[in-house]
A and B are shown apart, each in its own frame.
Chain A
Amino acid sequence: MSNSIRVNCTKKNLKLIRDFVMEHLLTLELTDIQMNQIVLAVDEICANLIIHANSEDPTKYISLAISEHRDMVRFEITDRGLAFKRAEYKEPDLQEHVRVGKKGGVGLALVNRIMDKVEFKSLGDKNTCLLYKKIK
Chain B
Amino acid sequence: MKITNEIKDATIIITLDGELDASSSVILDEELSNPEVMKFSKILVNCENLHYISSAGLGVFISHLQRFEDAQIKLIFFNMQDKVRNVFEILGLDLLMTIVSNYEEAMTIADE
Contacts and interface: CB of A to CB of B under 8 A. Distances in A.
B21 interface: yes
B96 to A, nearest CB: 6
B40 interface: no
Contacts of B55: 44, 47, 104, 106-107, 109-110
Contact of A98 (B66, B84, B87): B66
A134 interface: no
A26 interface: no
A36 B84 CA distance: 8
Nearest to B67: A101
Interface residues of B, number: 28
A11 B67 contact: no
A82 interface: no
Contact of B96 (A51, A95, A109, A113): A95
B60 interface: yes
Interface residues of A, number: 34
Judged by DSSP, the binding face of A is helix
Contacts of B21: 11, 14-15, 18, 43, 47
A119 B56 CA distance: 22
B23 A12 contact: yes
Interface string B68-104: 0000000000000011101100111100100000000
A110 B65 contact: no
A104 B22 CA distance: 10
B51 to A, nearest CB: 9
B11 to A, nearest CB: 23
Given A47-B54, A51-B22, A94-B92, A106 B83 contact: no
A129 B54 CA distance: 19
B12 to A, nearest CB: 20
A51 B86 CA distance: 25
Interface in A45-91: 47, 50-51
A97 interface: yes
A36 B56 CA distance: 15
A98 B96 contact: yes
Contacts of B93: 94
B22 A11 contact: yes
B17 interface: no
Contacts of A32: 82-83
